[in-house]
Structure 1
């Protein structure tokens, strides 16, 4: 009989299982080759659906397609265990060769997990979910027959053994690469890379079959040629800037010199480097210049910008698109619009329903140029679910620029550092830490291995001095400010200044001050910015602000810290609520940004009404900055003589990381263990391994003992996990309507990328409040959430206080 992998929805055409296995193998090989593990990844592709070699699966698939409203019961068919069991039986029983045993565990875990997430080898209950599947599971239908058919139809036994031999050689070479990683850390990153290769290969092949598209139709232009053409366009832009009026100003000359230094630095070999251009120094174009030249000369496949806020993504991506004159090959990835349902979707494999369309949509970061967020980057390595990790292999052979890298969340510092070390040592990627406020990431236990002589800019202290455009005024000496007192302070400053930017630490005080100033300044434009507004909304407000600033009109803007990290605006005066020194420095970058005036002021105040109880990082940073301000009052030469010096920033971050040391390894309080231990620790550091040996008086029958799924289940970049919700702001309404009518997988992918501009991220208590008042709609099996009209305000975004709309939904 013919064994089937999938049945196409549009015409009922069958994809034969042999073809699917060999095609996924080829894709996985191409992904694995990036780090020298083509056959290890290919082995996962070859065996992942071996369990479909059964009459039971064919019958199930035909039944499921014929009756999609009532598919067979969950658990009735298991096709993902068989490939993992084959590897276990072949290489993990009897007289075990260590390398083949490890290979069986690494590849077998990827195979049995490809409809969910990687299994624990040992979990907190001292059990092995991995062994439970590959060794102990009893209801695997026709396993022996599946094995026989695989060797008969796909690859004979002799060819298979030769293929495994090549995979073993790759494993040996991978483990021999010099690095600071423990063996367990090497196995963890290898397993996740193989899993990424399998997931993307499987989904890509399935989507191409479903949408009837070929690899050739989807291929990008050759990377070297594309990046060289981009570089030529960028240099044309540089020449244009050099010929404009004012290009010979001191600041523009400095920008040009730093851009030239980045160009020359691109000739260096791959590594981890720093780019510490002062705020307003043109780091976006300078880093792009480095990235394009380095990528073209060193065979890199992707240039990836990782930024802290979506606001900067839109701004920077728009600027890069304009310069490179390309709307096709530049991807913005802000957030996962569709939430990934936490379930094993094995029973949906083989035919396409709405849930599967969302899963299969092209979402793998295969674009030449990508703009994304720090949250999305960290999720690729450490979050649960297959959508995120699918992108991991495309982080290799890349130039990755971390803009405003100081925004790495404290709990993620060690995980972030180890991910970057892996990409440098194994992934052949070049990393650029791009910020005026370099964090001391090489000062912590799991240190970042920054290259010697890593800084791209020469004579940095001199550059900072020549770039000085602002002075920090310490208003904390005058006591604390309430919003009413701050309103009076703002009114006084507006007698001297045309425009003011006020940055406060919490959305609540920002909104309250905004509402006060609307009353106090009725004849002046007053604007509000916060993450309660979707990206498209913030972009529109920023465009209006820029027009006022260009026309030298009176204007006030009140914002949360989202505006201070790279947003290209320049105010005459900035007021910043006391926070970490990096935040103060970044806020200063929004003042006199282009040196319009000789010197302007940034006032630092201590706000009395900000509730920082649950914002530990801001509170700790605020306390350190406050002590540094006292130091400067006592000794004007301390900390390099001013808060924006290299010495001040180094002191601040070393003190900050010392104060938060207990948080750096991502403590999982519910389990009383750090995530670094769950992922990286072997004997004797791994407590689960120790406890297993004590309890059972023997070692577990495994080479690997780490807890990948448990770690992923407890990982979240932001302490309170947020959920993306599409808002009914302008084009957001049209996107919602189109999503409801989309049929092709390609359409889902396009609309979800477009929807990123029209989403906000909500905390659990906000979702609960909206649920209670009927302000949310759930689409596509709950995977996409939509905000109803009245819950979104044209001034400040999400409006949980306005109840007038809720009742209208009833009519």
Structure 2
């Protein structure tokens, strides 16, 4: 009997179940090796499709292939339970055995879930979806015993299987004995997610290669590539030294900090801070560290994690221009495909549009990746197999968190846990890169910083030496509305060539822009209602004006412009916000120190509605207190609003104010996400309630609620949907192509390209667009696009409503 795993679309060739299981096992083993769990990951790989060793599945897939217009009933065959059930019956019965039981639970959950998302071991209803699956009866899985027999006949003999499991148990014990700042439940949560990630990626990669009729892809020599990149970077940096301005104070300082990064790269991997002042050449200095460290310490990739989508295209373009290599640099702005509620077990084996989207290469295996904080956190905590598929590729990496102070308050503890895992188990080096370091080691679930963590020496001297602006306090005595602000802008543009205005909400930005757009001076508008390609085009126009000293220009923006966007204005006006935002805004003024000290004006805008922007609201209050202190006593807080002492005080007070929010509280459940994911049996309220209600112990070692936590996780407080927009010929062309019948390879390419042409809709925006016919559905509803009438070439998304949140960091 030839049992079938998949049937190739092009030539109807069959991939046997044993070929698929052994192929996935080999890939999963290679992924598991990264954290020393080769056999645990391989166990998941070799058992995940055990349930395809049945006559029922064979008949099902043949019927689906032979009768595409009348396929068999969806969900008619359960093939993902059998592997988990085998582990449960063989290693999870009788007297509890810690390592045997944990191994069966961790690997079993990954297997059961590989067509959807990890199951809860114990859920809020005090039930175990995991146990319900592995305890299915022989009546429910009629061919289970035959499947097991086939496995031992075709895939691995029973005695070899027992030896293999023994190796996996040794790995599990070693894993759990490693020191970690969390508890063993936290370690097990990350282990389960890592094994799930390895399995998902191995399964999809093996299936894609079979469908494309390719052998296993050759491994790229990363060290050779990073060495070549390092040489190109050094050529570029050496070329700066012969330029006319090479010996200016700022450029000498930049060069010195870059050299410190180079020397620091020789140190072991860890969690370090890189506190280069704004405008100090952070991108290239951190790249220098990353390339050298990756080569010396055998890292597989370099990942830049930025707060705003705006920075991605700029940083990626800067790096591309130096490394002269487009093919190995990936920009990942957002998930174009919505797979959060997918459960595609009923489609497995048959390659259709949805399966092609699933198989499209989207696993962050590129040598250099630029992505956002939202996408990074989604990998660890959000629902959807596309997110978690990338987790194993965060290991053995250099990860640079640009503007790390923008980690959303509610996610601070989750962020710290993820970084501690990547440091302790994942052998990654993590660089917290910002001029305004947040106090992440100050909070309850603290970040395990390495000793002597700061890369730059004598920071106070460097900050003072980089001073290019004066912060002018106009916020403590008076308030501005748009009329008064417009007059102030006109006054300033008569004194200087360029003015940047940064406000806290899209509504006031748009109104102020409309108020000024008829003036003689060119006025530009930026917000997250525009796709990345659109924003990039606007910034390009602004830069042309800035580079021509005979032209004046005004730019009005939300805070998206202040984190890492390389522009330099003569004057900046910043609406009062957190101290870090004021510092970042100051970094857009006299950025390269070419002029004498310039002014950054901090105002209090009366028309901004911060009701739904609590972090900005609290940050604004704390900054105002520090400004008042400095007005009363100029030597307070290091004598300067942007001093290291002022910043430290600000973040400690900020996190203290939000101390009840740091662990991601879920109002619907009245629980913190940290508890759902990491609480032990003694402190897990669901486990305690189960024991009390049932008068017996819960029969699993792990009691945590992985799926419930993921279903309730959103980095910002409202769910958003990514849509592709018809910006320019490129955007319109992409939408047309995604409506066609593309190959997996073409889809992979298009989905990467689409990153530049997406925006994110809040629920009410999506509902309004559905009502007025502004949305179009592509590829069986898996991708959404805007109609041309719903995208404005001036403002982007054509809705008058103001978004509730203005983070723009999807």
TM range (shorter): over 0.9
For each residue in 1:593-642, what CA deviation from the matched residue of structure 2 results, as whole angstroms up to 9, or x when unmatched?
Answer: 00021100000000001010001100010010011111111110111111
The 2-side partners of 1:751 and 1:442 are apart by 41
* Structure 1 match to 2:805: none
Q: Does 1:648 align with 2:646?
A: yes
* Structure 2 match to 1:208: 209
For each residue in 1:634-668, what CA deviation from the matched residue of structure 2 results, as whole angstroms up to 9, or x when unmatched?
Answer: 11011111111110110000000000011100001
Secondary structure, counterpart of 1:15 in structure 2: strand
* Structure 2 match to 1:37: 37
Q: Is the 8 A contact 1:224 1:296 kept in 2?
A: yes
* Structure 2 match to 1:806: none
Q: Tell me the CA shift for residue 341 of structure 1.
A: 4.8
Q: Tell me the CA shift for residue 94 of structure 1.
A: 2.2
The 5 Å alignment of 1:354-433 reads 354-433=353-432
Q: Tell me the CA shift for residue 495 of structure 1.
A: 1.7
Secondary structure, counterpart of 1:583 in structure 2: helix
* Structure 2 match to 1:184: 185
* Structure 1 match to 2:721: 723
Q: Is the 8 A contact 1:735 1:751 kept in 2?
A: yes
- CA RMSD, 1 decimal: 1.0
Q: Tell me the CA shift for residue 801 of structure 1.
A: 4.3
More divergent stretch after superposition (395-404 vs 93-102): 93-102
Q: Is the 8 A contact 1:48 1:111 kept in 2?
A: yes
Q: Tell me the CA shift for residue 96 of structure 1.
A: 4.0
Secondary structure, counterpart of 1:500 in structure 2: strand
The 1-side partners of 2:591 and 2:64 are apart by 61
Q: Tell me the CA shift for residue 220 of structure 1.
A: 4.8
The 2-side partners of 1:437 and 1:293 are apart by 25
* Structure 2 match to 1:145: 146
* Structure 2 match to 1:131: 131
Q: Is the 8 A contact 2:340 2:383 kept in 1?
A: no
* Structure 1 match to 2:806: none
Q: Is the 8 A contact 2:476 2:624 kept in 1?
A: no
* Structure 2 match to 1:226: 225
Q: Tell me the CA shift for residue 343 of structure 1.
A: 2.8
Secondary structure, counterpart of 1:662 in structure 2: coil
Secondary structure, counterpart of 2:471 in structure 1: strand
The 5 Å alignment of 1:568-579 reads 568-579=566-577
The 5 Å alignment of 1:376-525 reads 376-519=375-518, 521=519, 523-525=520-522
Q: Is the 8 A contact 1:576 1:602 kept in 2?
A: yes
Secondary structure, counterpart of 1:444 in structure 2: coil
For each residue in 1:294-316, what CA deviation from the matched residue of structure 2 results, as whole angstroms up to 9, or x when unmatched?
Answer: 01000100100000111111011
For each residue in 1:557-591, what CA deviation from the matched residue of structure 2 results, as whole angstroms up to 9, or x when unmatched?
Answer: 00000000000000000000000000000000000
The 1-side partners of 2:201 and 2:247 are apart by 50
Q: Is the 8 A contact 1:579 1:621 kept in 2?
A: yes
Question: How many residues are matched?
Answer: 798
* Structure 1 match to 2:121: 121
* Structure 1 match to 2:102: 102
Q: Is the 8 A contact 2:301 2:396 kept in 1?
A: yes
* Structure 1 match to 2:338: 339
Cα distance, 1:742–1:471 mapped onto 2, change above 3 Å: farther
* Structure 2 match to 1:199: 200
For each residue in 1:422-466, what CA deviation from the matched residue of structure 2 results, as whole angstroms up to 9, or x when unmatched?
Answer: 000000000000000100000101000111110000000000000
The 2-side partners of 1:459 and 1:743 are apart by 56
For each residue in 1:389-408, what CA deviation from the matched residue of structure 2 results, as whole angstroms up to 9, or x when unmatched?
Answer: 00000000000000000110
Q: Tell me the CA shift for residue 152 of structure 1.
A: 1.1
* Structure 1 match to 2:804: none
For each residue in 1:687-729, what CA deviation from the matched residue of structure 2 results, as whole angstroms up to 9, or x when unmatched?
Answer: 1111111111221000100000000000011111111111111
The 1-side partners of 2:124 and 2:155 are apart by 39
Q: Is the 8 A contact 1:78 1:141 kept in 2?
A: no
More divergent stretch after superposition (327-336 vs 738-747): 738-747
Structure 1 unaligned segments of length 5 or more: list them: 803-811
TM-score if structure 1 supplies the norm length? 0.97
Q: Is the 8 A contact 1:21 1:49 kept in 2?
A: yes
Secondary structure, counterpart of 1:661 in structure 2: coil
The 1-side partners of 2:95 and 2:420 are apart by 36
Secondary structure, counterpart of 2:739 in structure 1: helix
The 1-side partners of 2:110 and 2:57 are apart by 21
* Structure 2 match to 1:551: 548
Secondary structure, counterpart of 1:247 in structure 2: coil
More divergent stretch after superposition (38-47 vs 634-643): 634-643
The 2-side partners of 1:76 and 1:547 are apart by 61
Secondary structure, counterpart of 2:135 in structure 1: helix
For each residue in 1:257-306, what CA deviation from the matched residue of structure 2 results, as whole angstroms up to 9, or x when unmatched?
Answer: 00000000001111000000000000000000000000100010010000
Q: Tell me the CA shift for residue 683 of structure 1.
A: 2.5
Q: Is the 8 A contact 1:675 1:711 kept in 2?
A: yes
* Structure 2 match to 1:252: 251
The 5 Å alignment of 1:520-539 reads 521=519, 523-539=520-536
Secondary structure, counterpart of 1:607 in structure 2: coil
Q: Tell me the CA shift for residue 68 of structure 1.
A: 2.9
TM-score if structure 2 supplies the norm length? 0.98
| Pick aligned residue for 1:631 from 629, 632, 644 | 629
* Structure 2 match to 1:808: none
For each residue in 1:40-72, what CA deviation from the matched residue of structure 2 results, as whole angstroms up to 9, or x when unmatched?
Answer: 000000000000000110110011122334322
* Structure 2 match to 1:734: 733
Which consecutive segments of 4 or more residues in structure 1 shift more than 4 A?
none
* Structure 1 match to 2:275: 276
The 2-side partners of 1:164 and 1:704 are apart by 19
Q: Is the 8 A contact 1:574 1:602 kept in 2?
A: yes
More divergent stretch after superposition (24-33 vs 178-187): 178-187
* Structure 2 match to 1:159: 160
